[in-house]
Amino acid sequence: MILPLSACASDPSPEQLLEENQERWETQKLDNYRYRLQVSCYCIGEVTNPVVVEIRNGETTSIVAADSGKPVNRKFFNTYDSVSKLFDVVQKAIDQDYYKLDVTY
């Protein structure tokens, strides 16, 4: 009798995905980049509207509204103003066992 064997591969855990993507990011050693960010929370509108964050020489140089290009209040985005800080936010969510964690790398 021959029985087929199948391996059960599970999806990577949030921790594994974070680690893999953080390592991928760090190996690129980028000091100049920009990204679009949209925070989803029960917050005031200015925080949840999409913004574009620009980093030059490792420092955040601007955070502007994605639709108008106008500067936004940077104090609302201190936690999100670099990719390294975004990884910290994801790690905190994992550590605190958030009910729902939806991250796109």
CA 30 to chain CA centroid, Å, is 15
Tell me how many degrees the CA angle 55-61-64 measures, rounded to the nearest 5: 95
Which residues constitute the domain of residue 65? Answer: 31-95
Residue 74 lies in a domain: yes
Task: Please tell me the distance from the alpha carbon of residue 53 to that of residue 35, in angstroms, as a whole number.
Answer: 5
Residue 23 lies in a domain: no
Residue 102 lies in a domain: no
Residue 35: closest CA among 55, 52, 13, 14: 52
Residue 9 lies in a domain: no
Q: For residue 4, what pLDDT band results from cuts at 50, 70 and 90?
A: low
On the 0-12 / 13-18 / 19+ scale of CB atoms within 10 A, 68 is exposed
The answer to whether residue 97 scores a pLDDT higher than 80 is yes
Number of domains in the chain: 1
Q: How much is the pLDDT for 23? A: 97
Q: How much is the pLDDT for 44? A: 76
Question: Per residue in 10-33, pLDDT tens?
Answer: 889 999 999 999 999 999 999 999
Q: How much is the pLDDT for 17? A: 96
Residue 52 lies in a domain: yes
Residue 15 lies in a domain: no
Residue 26 lies in a domain: no
Question: Per residue in 24-66, pLDDT tens?
Answer: 999 999 999 999 999 888 877 788 899 999 999 999 999 999 9
Rounded to 10 degrees, the C-alpha dihedral 24/92/45/59 comes to -50
State the average pLDDT over residues 80-95: 95
Residue 56 lies in a domain: yes
